[in-house]
Structure 1
């Protein structure tokens, strides 16, 4: 058992540590942001170039998995109000997702794909869901982004490692992230200081739950078709 675990970790290569960092980094960043709000918040809000600073730092820090998208969304609402805040926040986070995809792609080889190829069924499901290039892949990215159980930074790494088409990745990310970012940013517009415990209303949770159920349903359907194809050697049809 220990040998299998060691072999599996070795096979992950750079993917394992990068994924772990992307999942833990935003949480640590949230703690640092909350603890240091008194140091930087007022200076940022009163700075004549606050928008440019917000865009640049939001893009870099979020794209590098150093702060959560929740913080960027709230800050957008606090700094720029009910109407402009959501627009700036969504633009920043969408660009950050693309920056993250490009950045992590440089450090990720083909470890994940190599592991998938060792599992024919898993590889077939991956191919059908995320490498089919079209509406199915776009829809799957949207649902993944809508789901509350899929962290933004970790999803960036997974999709980058899976070499999902960049165009479908960025459009799917923008559409899927929009409800969460907009609602949280609107909630932020009612605040006078950064409070990461604040968020959107229950409707966002319901939307995310529906997206999660749909994602699981699609994966289940594709899994059954993949198994049938492996047994009967018949092509998978929609």
Structure 2
């Protein structure tokens, strides 16, 4: 058992540590933002270049998995209000997802694909879900983005490592992230100070749960389809 775990970790290569960082990094960033908000929020609000600074910092920090998306949304709401704030937040976060895609796809190269080659069933499911291109892949990216159990940064790593089509990744990210970003930004517009515990919304949670169930249902269906296809291939080979 220990040997299997050790071999699995070794097979992950750079993928494992990068995925771990993408999950842990935003959480640490949220703590830092909350602790230092009183020092930078007012100067940023009073700056003539607040929008440019917001976009650049949001793009870099979110794209590098250093802060969570709900922090960007809340700050956008505080700075720009409930009318234009959601548009600024969604533009920044969607752009950051593309930065993550480019960054992680270069860092990871073909490591995940090489790992999948060793797992025939997982590889078939992956190809059915995310390598078919078109509406199927776009729909799956949207559902993944809507799901509350899939963190933004971790999803960026997985989709980038899986070489998902860039256009479908970007469009699916924008559409899937929009409800969450808009609702959290509107919640942020009611705040005067940064409080990352705010921004939860029952309708957002419900939407996320529905997306999660739909994602699991699709993955289950595709898994059965991929398994049947694999069995047929093996039978034909015999």
* TM-score bracket, shorter-length normalisation: over 0.9
Q: Does 1:37 align with 2:47?
A: no
Q: TM-score, normalization: structure 1? A: 0.96
Report the equivalent of 2:164.
Answer: 164
Q: Which runs of 5+ in 2 are unaligned?
A: none
Following TM superposition, by how much is the alpha carbon of 1:233 offset from its aligned partner in structure 2, in angstroms?
3.4
Report the equivalent of 1:22.
Answer: 22
Partner Cα separation in structure 2 for residue 226 and residue 106 of structure 1: 29
Report the equivalent of 2:229.
Answer: 229
Q: Does 1:94 align with 2:94?
A: yes
Report the equivalent of 2:78.
Answer: 78
Partner Cα separation in structure 2 for residue 178 and residue 200 of structure 1: 15
Contact 1:73/1:185, CA 8 A, preserved across alignment = yes
Report the equivalent of 2:7.
Answer: 7
Partner Cα separation in structure 2 for residue 46 and residue 81 of structure 1: 14
The Cα offsets for residues 21-49 of structure 1, whole Å up to 9 and x where unpaired, read as 00000000000000011111111010110
What does 1:180-199 correspond to in 2, within 5 Å?
180-199=180-199
Contact 1:62/1:93, CA 8 A, preserved across alignment = yes
Q: TM-score, normalization: structure 2? A: 0.96
Contact 1:26/1:67, CA 8 A, preserved across alignment = yes
Q: Which runs of 5+ in 1 are unaligned?
A: none
Following TM superposition, by how much is the alpha carbon of 1:70 offset from its aligned partner in structure 2, in angstroms?
0.5
Report the equivalent of 2:122.
Answer: 122
Partner Cα separation in structure 1 for residue 26 and residue 42 of structure 2: 22
What does 1:39-58 correspond to in 2, within 5 Å?
39-58=39-58
Following TM superposition, by how much is the alpha carbon of 1:107 offset from its aligned partner in structure 2, in angstroms?
0.8
Structure 1's consecutive aligned runs of 4 or more residues displaced over 4 angstroms after TM superposition are none
The Cα offsets for residues 27-80 of structure 1, whole Å up to 9 and x where unpaired, read as 000000000111111110101100000000000000000000000000111100
Contact 1:76/1:88, CA 8 A, preserved across alignment = yes
Contact 1:14/1:109, CA 8 A, preserved across alignment = no
Aligned length in residues: 234
